[in-house]
Structure 1
């Protein structure tokens, strides 16, 4: 059975019908967007009542949404105080990138042997879409959301091409965590140097059919992203209070 796609990036895919989202789903998406876009900064604390008021929603869907976000690691419950947006310190960033190198590297190696023509063609289409959505000086939230979707779809297709469903599910979860970083990276396109190893390099390695080259290239791509993120945090002009939540 084919793996279920999570990140649909084409308009004809994203506009397909389905059951309408519940109030909890709506609350979850709005809170998560605020965290990803850093309207709610790492380390920011709040109460359920405050958040419900800001969202103009009742407490029940907000409480249920916060439960989901807590399980995903986006927020932490603080006894007798409320919640906090989970801080991400340098040690956490290091651990996340190390873990992602393991799973994405393995997916790339497997995809080099198993990718289908259809999947390869979709990766090429995503490369073209990436060119159209390349980071420019201070892209707005809509542009960044589009870049995130394209990036997620690219890595998910590789995960699906590995033909390992557990690996696919794991990579989808890690991609969702990494969305918190993307706004920092994309907001500083000057940090993308000529030596950045990007999706084009990853695709070429997979298309060549060499598993170890694909694995090494994926590792190099993730290391390039890590370096851009660290520059964004340390040199990107973040406010002192916000920056301390990352460091």
Structure 2
């Protein structure tokens, strides 16, 4: 009995992690239609774990269930991206303010290290290092994930996770364009704010930075070929 009860959970988790990774990286494109059988064949994972994973992803807003038609990766539109940044500009500063106020010593050290790495990467991309924007996004997720966890506020943590899912998809799509990934503006001043736990200054800096990235992202996607069809799809599609 113990084997039967734990194995499906392990397979369901594996299916969830695989599908979530493919969605947030846009390997499974926004708006793409999915079927349990097709995903089972492409991943080598059984239909039951795939179904469990799709249910979890539906709850997280990354997948839509289409009655009698299967599933669809949640589409992205210019409006949804605008709404995403509008909400992030409200929530992000509060996560920074409350998180810095309540971080543990261990979390504080992790934040300083992460923001230091971001500041160093932001100084300029070394020759031949094309993954700098991707690495910056990964570090930003670590930093704000740590700040969100430090708030100990389950609602804020849940909202952050939901926002981060779609934010990762926006960055993945942006990386496909000829335009540079919007600058997050992280420099040594951010590191110093984190070191002194200045939540108020961090909140204002985050608010300003999100506003600038918001405007740049809208400029990029307003020129996206698929915007005319309302849903934004990868350039390779």
TM-score range, shorter chain: 0.7 to 0.9
- Secondary structure of the structure 2 residue equivalent to 1:22: helix
What secondary structure, in the 3-state scheme, does the structure 1 residue paired with 2:169 have? helix
Cα 1:112–1:189 shift into 2, 3 Å: farther
Query: Residue 58 of structure 1 is aligned with which of 42, 46, 59?
Result: 46
String of CA shifts for 1:127-160, please: whole Å, max 9, x gaps.
23333597788946x983x544322110122224
| Partner SS state of residue 65, structure 2 | strand
Does residue 160 of structure 2 align to residue 171 of structure 1?
A: yes
Equivalent positions of 1:73-222 (< 5 A) are 73-130=61-118, 131-132=120-121, 139=130, 144=134, 146-187=135-176, 191=180, 196-198=184-186, 200-207=188-195, 210-222=198-210
CA shift for structure 1 position 66: 0.6
C-alpha spacing 1:46/1:108, structure 2 compared with 1 (3 Å): closer
Paired residue total: 224
Shift of the alpha carbon at 1:168?
A: 3.2
Cα distance change on mapping 1:241 and 1:211 into 2, 3 Å = closer
1:15 corresponds to which residue? none
Give unpaired runs (5+ residues) of structure 2: 1-5
Shift of 1:75: 1.1
| Mapped pair 1:246 → 2:235 | no
3-state DSSP of counterpart to 1:39: coil
2:3 — aligned with what? Answer: none
What is the TM-score when the length of structure 2 is the normalising length?
A: 0.75
Equivalent position of 2:37 in the other structure: 49
SS in structure 2 of the partner of residue 29 of structure 1: helix
Q: TM-score scaled by structure 1?
A: 0.72
Mind listing any 5+ residue stretches in structure 1 that lack a counterpart? 1-18
When structure 1 is superposed on structure 2, of 202-211 and 32-41 the one drifting more is 202-211
CA-to-partner distance for each residue in 1:176-229, whole Å, 9 max, x for gaps? 3322122134456953577x5336554444545554432221111222332343
User: How much has 1:102 moved relative to structure 2?
Assistant: 2.1
